Each structure stands twice: as structure tokens, then as C-alpha cells.
Amino acid sequence: MSDKPEGEGAEAPPKSKKMLIMIIAAVVVLALAGGGGWFFMNKGSGEEEEEEVQQVEKKGPPQYMSLESMTANLADPGGEKMIQVVVTLELSDVKAPDKVKDYVPAIRADALMLLTQSTSEELLTKEGKERLADDIFAEASRHFVDEDPREARKEEAASKDKKKKKKKKKKVDNPIVGVFFSSFIIQ
């Protein structure tokens, strides 16, 4: 009788070690599978959201369209300050200049209206120039989209910071991607 308990006791540790190793291996495999699934699910949904929020997918090298030089009086007291600026539009693809060409007079008029509402003090700061570029972008884009493109940019930036899921949004077919100043002189 003493041989049986020793024999059973000797066989039990190898079985329990094998069982313990199998359980640990199963837990590790499940954890890796769950983690991998979570990673790919979050990565995939983030890319989809980013594509939905983006205004236009860039196709090929960037395209630029430079508008003619604009000169305007600034809104400074006394009306003695003037600005001369050349605005360059960054476009989404090689076909975009054809879409934008018909709207150039309206875009220039909108930009001139914004310039005449600005003061030299505002425009001498980096923030003032960035605000003016954003405002020109919004005014130029309104000819192509229904919503304010500045809000789409803010939402895109917020989604990158927070990485939260967003409601699906329709793609915006705006050929204008950005606004730059090629020349900026205040006198």
C-alpha cells in the first residue's frame, strides 16, 4: 500500500507541471491574440477616421497656384499703412488648378476683403499671419465645400491628439489644401 501512494505521488508532479505549462501557454497565446486583435482593430479604425476627416487625398507631388500680387490699405487708424502680399494656394492634385481657375477672381476678392479688415499690428506677429492664412483658406474653400474647413482642420488635429473614435464624416472635395505667403510686405 505504501508503494501505491508513493507511485501516485511521483506521477502527480509531472502531470501537474505539464498541466501548469499548458495552462500558462494557453493564457499567453490568448493574451497575445487579444492584444494583437485590439492593436489591429484600433489601428484600422484610426486610419479610416483619418481618411474620412482628410479633405482630399494627395495624388502625386504637391501642386501650387500663385495668385497675382495684391495691394491693400490696412485698417490702421489714419489709413496710412499698406500691405502688398502674394498668396500661393497649395492644391490637392494635378487636376486641381482647372477646378480652382474659375474661382480665382472671387478668391482674390475675398482675400482683399480680409486684408483690409486687418491691422498692421495684428499682421506683424506670426500668429496674425497664421490667422490670416487660415481665414484666406476658409474663404477660398467655401467656394468648394458647404462646411467651414477650419473646423475640419481642428477636428482632425483633435482626433490625432485624443485618438478617440469619431462619427463618420463625408469626404470633402476641396482642391485647396493650404495657403502660403510668397511675399508679405507692410509699409
Give per-residue pLDDT as tens, 22-45. 888 888 888 888 777 777 777 655
Tens-digit pLDDT profile for residues 108-166:
999 999 999 999 999 999 999 999 999 999 999 999 887 666 666 666 666 665 554 44
Q: Rounded to whole angstroms, how far apart are CA atoms 102 and 106?
A: 9
Q: Rounded to whole angstroms, how far apart are CA atoms 20 and 14?
A: 10
Q: Looking at residue 167, what is its pLDDT?
A: 46
Rounded to two decimals, what is the model's pTM? 0.59
Mean of the pLDDT values across residues 16-22?
81
List of domains in the chain:
63-186 (3.30.479)
Q: Looking at residue 157, what is its pLDDT?
A: 64
Tens-digit pLDDT profile for residues 45-95:
544 444 443 444 556 788 999 999 999 999 999 888 999 999 999 998 888
Tens-digit pLDDT profile for residues 164-182:
444 444 445 889 999 999 9
Q: Rounded to whole angstroms, how far apart are CA atoms 146 and 133?
A: 19
SS3 call for 160: helix
- Pairwise pLDDT comparison (120 vs 20), residue with the higher score: 120
Q: Looking at residue 59, what is its pLDDT?
A: 65
CB atoms within 10 A of CB 53: 20
- Pairwise pLDDT comparison (8 vs 93), residue with the higher score: 93
Closest CA to 119 of 72, 74, 70, 73: 74
